[in-house]
A and B are shown apart, each in its own frame.
Chain A
Amino acid sequence: MNTEATPIVEIQGLYKRFGDNEVLKGIDLEIAEGEVVCLIGPSGSGKSTLLRCVNLLETPTEGTIAAAGHDMTGPDADLDLARRDIGMVFQHFNLFSHMTILDNLVVPQVRVCKIPKAKAVAEARRLLAEVGIEGKEQAKPSQLSGGQQQRVAIARALAVKPRLMLFDEPTSALDPEIVGEVLSVMKGLAAEGMTMLVVTHEMSFAREVADRVLFLDGGVIVESGPPAEVLSNPKTERARSFLHRVLHPVD
């Protein structure tokens, strides 16, 4: 890893309003290259909105965002160029349903990065093997299980060579027994040094893989620190009761 001092994500004074509903109320956040950050918090706390602001899928109402070396909120921002450097994985996979699995990885490389077809196909095959999807190249997304689709979606995001990956509840739409296969791919990615910002409800993943856990509530970052600290010894009552509800849902 290089010793670059500038953070790969830098968010300052971020506010986001949907009409009268203020979802983010002043977020300041820096993420260093190679860091894995998990965003946890109750539903409606603004986790997903914060994540979607990083690649400007949501336009901030106020504040500045820099990510992967691009000034995202600047007046001359080239978002199409910037988004190549910021991969995104969605809760519902969002694979291109009319394309084969292989084309899902090939078309973005050819169309976005202007990589020659043959090279793109080879890279697609390599990435599919890496996420453990083999022999499904000519299948359509709907023929795959949710876990397989999500692993393809991760491979697709990696196909355009991002420097930073955003995960928006990547396992929330999966059956419990399938969650593991997606998490293990993400764990592998983290081990390779990828910078990751992950919205998740998987506390064990956060505990094991994250360098830092952020607890969001009511549109502000309430707690921030190493997983052992935030998940085991939350300082605030809000974080304590949230974690209790997540870890002991039956009580």
Chain B
Amino acid sequence: MDAETETLDRRMTPARRQRLARAIQYTVLAAIVVVLAVVADWGRIADSFFQIDIAAAMFPAVWTPFWNTIVYTLLAFVFGMVVGVPIALMRVSAFGPYRWFATGYVEIFRGLPALLVLFLVGFGVPQAFPGIQYPGGVYGQVAIGLGLTSSAYIAESVRAGIQAVPKGQVEAARSLGMSHTRTMITVVLPQALRIVIPPLTNELVMLTKDSSLVFVLGVTTSTMELSKFARNELTANANATPLLVGGLLYLLLTIPLGLLARRLEKRGEPR
């Protein structure tokens, strides 16, 4: 046997190299878990996060803020869609002024922090226009305050969706005698909205979390949302268990949303 074949034999095959790499990664992972388990003070962790009586005492009062979180999110999302879809249509319009307005709108409300917009709607506008009344009180303020930011993101997503609809779909509609507007409503938008289900779900999840900003408007027990409630409980009990309960309740909202979106996406898929 010559020298060349010998070196070839000593080199590992790709499959063997992969198996070795896997084994190393599993070992490291197992080591990390063991170290954490040994180092952590489990009694202290349980004391801070898992006090059953504190968790139990949050019910049923927690359902009001939980429900408010849902309502704030949906109101803001509906406002975002109602404003965002027309802004998206203006973004792709052939009429210059529409495009300029929509571009400016998106740049402004995408760039401003949601917290600042919420302050602006809650305190800035009432000061500048005394006597202004938001429909639904704090609910109207939230719908607009969170919805403005949301509408900018939604507009961008929907615009991308509109542009992803194949040009042939528009040509077919126009050559059947459909007007530009009719083509948009009947052919382009239904396809575009299906395309943007994933980013819209994303937006809904973001809004669920952004609803935690509502406390800056000054909320009462009946209009409080989940984060504020959990924080109040945290202070009252000097214990972190309410944060865990609040967090789990957020996941109770957002995880099913993700599942629902995946189903919607599948339904729209060409089979």
Contacts and interface: CB of A to CB of B under 8 A. Distances in A.
A81 interface: yes
Interface string B227-266: 0000000000000000000000000000000000000000
A251 interface: no
B201 interface: no
A24 to B, nearest CB: 19
B177 A80 contact: yes
Interface string A77-98: 0001111101110101011111
A228 to B, nearest CB: 32
A88 B174 CA distance: 10
B168 A160 contact: no
A94 B186 contact: no
Contact of A143 (B173, B179, B190, B271): B271
Interface stretch (A31-39, A106-114, A127-135, A206-214): A106-114
B186 A111 contact: yes
A88 B175 CA distance: 6
Interface-centre pick from B176, B179, B194 (highest chain A CB count, 10 A):
B176
A25 interface: no
Contacts of B190: 98
Nearest to B173: A96
B271 A140 contact: yes
A108 B176 contact: yes
A96 B166 CA distance: 10
Contacts, number: 67
Contact of B175 (A55, A95, A97, A141): A55
Contacts of B178: 80, 108, 111-112
Interface in B177-193: 177-179, 182, 186-187, 190-191
A26 to B, nearest CB: 25
Nearest to A141: B270
A205 to B, nearest CB: 22
Given A92-B168, A107-B186, A80 B270 contact: no
Contacts of B206: none
Nearest to B177: A84
Contacts of A82: 177
Contact of B169 (A55, A84, A94): A94
A90 B169 CA distance: 10
| B contact residues, range | 20 to 34
B175 A83 contact: yes
Given A80-B179, A142-B271, A160-B177, A95 B191 contact: no
A98 B194 contact: yes
A219 to B, nearest CB: 22
A156 interface: yes
A57 B175 contact: yes
B47 interface: no
| From A57, A98, A108, A112, residue with most partner B Cβ within 10 Å | A98
A55 B175 CA distance: 7
B171 to A, nearest CB: 6
B175 to A, nearest CB: 4
Contacts of B182: 111-112
Contact of B177 (A81, A94, A141, A143): A81
Interface in B128-174: 166, 168-169, 171-174
A51 to B, nearest CB: 11
B186 A57 contact: no
Nearest to A91: B168
A143 B270 CA distance: 8
A87 B176 CA distance: 7
A156 B171 contact: no
Interface in A147-162: 153, 156-157, 160
B268 interface: yes
Nearest to A143: B271
Given A80-B179, A160-B177, A96 B187 contact: yes
10 contacts: A55-B175, A88-B172, A94-B172, A97-B270, A98-B190, A98-B194, A107-B186, A112-B177, A142-B270, A157-B175
Given A98-B191, A140-B271, A160-B177, 10 more contacts: A80-B177, A87-B175, A88-B175, A94-B166, A94-B169, A94-B172, A96-B169, A98-B268, A112-B182, A160-B176
Q: Which 4 pairs across A and B sit closest by C-beta, in order of nearness?
A: A142-B270, A84-B177, A94-B172, A94-B168
